Amino acid sequence: MNIFEHHLSEIKKIVLSEKDFLKLDQIDNLKGVNLEIPPEQFNFDLSCNIAMVLGKKNKIPPKILALKFKEIFIKRIKNFSEIDIAGPGFLNIKLSKSTLLRNIDSILKDNFYGSIKSDESYNIEFVSANPTGPMHVGHCRGAVYGDVLANLLIFNGNKVTKEYYVNDYGGQIRNFIESVHLRILEIKYKKRFPKKENLYPGLYIKEFAEKIIRKNMKLNLDNFEKNFEFLKKESLKLSMDLIKDDLKLLGISHDNFFSETEIVKKDLVKKAINKLKEKNFVEEGYLQPPKGETNSNWKKTKRLIFKSTLFGDDVDRAMQKNDGSWTYFANDVAYHMNKVDRNYKNLVNILGADHTGYIKRITAAVLALSENKIKLNCKVCQLVKLYKNGQPFKMSKRAGEFISVQDLLNEVQKDQIRFMMLNRSNDVELDFDFDKVKENTKENPVFYVQYAYARINSLLRTLNLKLFENINLNENHINFNEMEARIIRKVFEWPKIIESASRKFDLHKIPFYLYELSTLFHAYWSKGNEDANYKFIEKDQIKRKEVLLVINLVALVLQNGMKILGVSLPKKM
């Protein structure tokens, strides 16, 4: 249940029915009117800005209008027990005890409390690391982000396909296969691995070579060109198995793996080009010189060009290289044509920090291919900086020139990685401090949230109770203290957090909210140690039944929130 939507609907209906009495000429469907939780110092449940919104539109002083609203709402809305006017005209509203209880009861009966009911199809492509070795930390942030986004959309009732695009074609792959072959020669014939540009020096390449040799003892693998396809198949399988193992350790699995090689084999690029040609979005022509390049230095070559500027891109894009072969972008257009043909209503790509400049062109391609019916939503995950003992964390020898996910997992657990990778907005760099995420203190957000849930379960074990057992409370015998009221109001906010995170894919709002909720719970627990009036238990009995309502509300939200994040909630710590 979203109490904000429910009570805002009440307010709007009454205002529309009383608009003549209120002398409101400009209603405009009450756009801009909202309900929020007021600042703590006001000790009210809801705050509404309606007097300021309509006051401005109708040239009526907001405070005068607020007084009229106060009078009408108190008379006509039984759910409101008290209304106060604050600041320039905010209406601070206190819910009646019966309404509070009814809202709480509704929440506790809803296993998917906070969910936005939806039934759309999504394809989320994420990770898509080049299959040339193990995942590195840069991939890790996007991997967690993509997986949690899928969880959030599924929580809301959508159908989601988690997809990995396997870049198994092109120059990088050839360099990777050559590196494996050279390691085979090194192992079999003691030939020194050359210091050659574009080769992969990591020790994992040697491990791949050893596995291929052991599995194919009778094969002659000396000739690179002759054995290229065989080595490609074997090396890519080993690499993808390594990546899948890394993802599994992070709690991530994909539903579909789509191969770039399949695009080439099935000639999907030509089909995509023809489709765009039919719509007059691709034609032969000449590109303008890149910025900073003089006309005299620019080789003017006729080629197929996609008119991406028709769809908001800065410049049109080449589909062919100078030699006539397809560009990487052309292959990507073909891949996205395949996605469009699979009839997903929503496409999402989770990209690395170095792909920001690529968004406009591929978004333009999807609009062109789908006749503006499907919008591609691209989210970029910025870099992660690792620190240990106050110093930048060093790379491993096994990976070569980067810090692998395995390096990360050797230092901290999956739960810590998943929670902390989302603890800041995806579009800003993230500092990941190993020392901080290992602390059992308030400074470690994931520990603090898990500890709140463990404390709740410890309390229930002491009382020999289970979560979500029926608690019968009569409104005449209920009196929430200020700590309980703060927690309940925070719980009421949960649907707003889900709605905001779902609308803009601002996933960092979820762990941040869970930490705030847990902090309120811990503060209440600690207050009981200072003041006997706030103790939860007395002589092994629950002191106040209101406490049971509060801890059940907190537990329900923590369960839903941490399930979305893919982070465990231990009952004991």
121-166+254-381 and 445-565, same CATH topology:
no
As a whole number of angstroms, the distance between CA 57 and CA 169 comes to: 60
Q: How far is CA 170 from CA 131, 241, 264, 429, 465, in A?
A: 12, 20, 10, 30, 61
| CATH superfamily label, 121-166+254-381 | HUPs (3.40.50.620)
Instruction: Indicate left, alpha or beta for 300 from its phi (over 0: left) and psi (-120 to 50: alpha).
Output: beta
Helices 509-530 and 482-492 cross at an angle (nearest 10°) of 170
pLDDT of 41: 87
- Residues pairing with 36 in the sheet: 47
DSSP 295: T
As a whole number of angstroms, the distance between CA 537 and CA 289 comes to: 76
Cα dihedral: 344, 350, 355, 357 (round 10): 50
As a whole number of angstroms, the distance between CA 198 and CA 210 comes to: 21
**Residue closest to 507 by CA, chosen among 425, 442, 452:** 425
From the number of C-beta atoms within 10 Å of its C-beta (0-12, 13-18, 19+), residue 218 rates as exposed
Q: Is the pTM value of this prediction over 0.95? A: no
Residues contacting residue 220 through CB under 8 Å, at least 6 positions apart:
none
**Residue closest to 224 by CA, chosen among 177, 190, 188, 192:** 177
pLDDT of 395: 57
> Tokens at residue 502, please?
């779902």
As a whole number of angstroms, the distance between CA 384 and CA 133 comes to: 19
Do the beta carbons of residue 282 and residue 252 sit within 8 Å? no
Which CATH entry fits the domain spanning 445-565: 3.40.50.1370, 1.10.10.10, 3.90.1150.10, 1.10.730.10?
1.10.730.10
pLDDT of 202: 85
DSSP 216: T
As a whole number of angstroms, the distance between CA 269 and CA 325 comes to: 11
> Tokens at residue 392, please?
């930048």
pLDDT of 25: 86
Q: Write the DSSP assignment of 180-193 as a string of letters.
A: HHHHHHHHHH-PPP
pLDDT of 478: 80
Residues contacting residue 270 through CB under 8 Å, at least 6 positions apart:
none
pLDDT of 294: 61
pLDDT of 397: 47
Domain map (residue ranges) of the chain: 3-95, 121-166+254-381, 171-249, 445-565
DSSP 353: G
pLDDT values of the chain reduced to their tens digit, one per residue, 573 residues: 688 998 999 999 999 998 888 888 888 778 889 999 999 888 999 999 999 999 888 999 999 999 999 999 999 999 999 999 999 999 999 999 999 999 999 999 999 999 999 999 999 999 998 899 888 888 999 999 999 999 999 999 999 999 999 999 999 999 999 999 999 999 999 999 998 888 998 889 999 999 999 999 888 999 999 999 999 999 999 999 999 999 999 999 999 999 999 999 999 999 999 999 999 999 998 877 766 666 666 677 889 999 999 999 999 999 998 888 999 999 999 999 999 999 999 999 999 988 888 999 999 999 999 999 998 999 999 999 888 888 888 655 444 567 888 888 988 999 999 999 999 999 999 999 988 888 888 989 999 999 999 999 999 999 888 988 777 767 777 889 999 999 999 999 999 999 999 999 999 999 999 999 999 999 999 998 888 888 998 888 888 889 999 999 999 999 999 999 999 999 998
Do the beta carbons of residue 348 and residue 123 sit within 8 Å? yes
Burial 230-251 (b: 16+ CB within 10 A, else e): ebbebbbebbbebbbebbebbb
As a whole number of angstroms, the distance between CA 307 and CA 152 comes to: 35
3-state secondary structure of 46: strand
> Tokens at residue 436, please?
């901080």
- Residues pairing with 179 in the sheet: none
3-state secondary structure of 306: strand
3-state secondary structure of 392: strand
pLDDT of 296: 61
User: Residues 262, 264, 268, CA angle at the centre, nearest 5°?
Assistant: 90
Instruction: Evaluate whether the domain defined by 3-95 bears CATH number 2.40.33.10.
Output: no
Residues contacting residue 411 through CB under 8 Å, at least 6 positions apart:
388, 393, 434
- Residues pairing with 257 in the sheet: 164
In sign, the C-alpha dihedral spanning 397, 403, 407, 412 is positive
Do the beta carbons of residue 422 and residue 145 sit within 8 Å? yes
Indicate the residue type of 272: A
**Which residue matches tokens 């039934």?**
119
- Residues pairing with 259 in the sheet: 166
Q: How far is CA 130 from CA 169, 183, 443, in A?
A: 10, 20, 36
pLDDT of 286: 83
As a whole number of angstroms, the distance between CA 303 and CA 261 comes to: 23
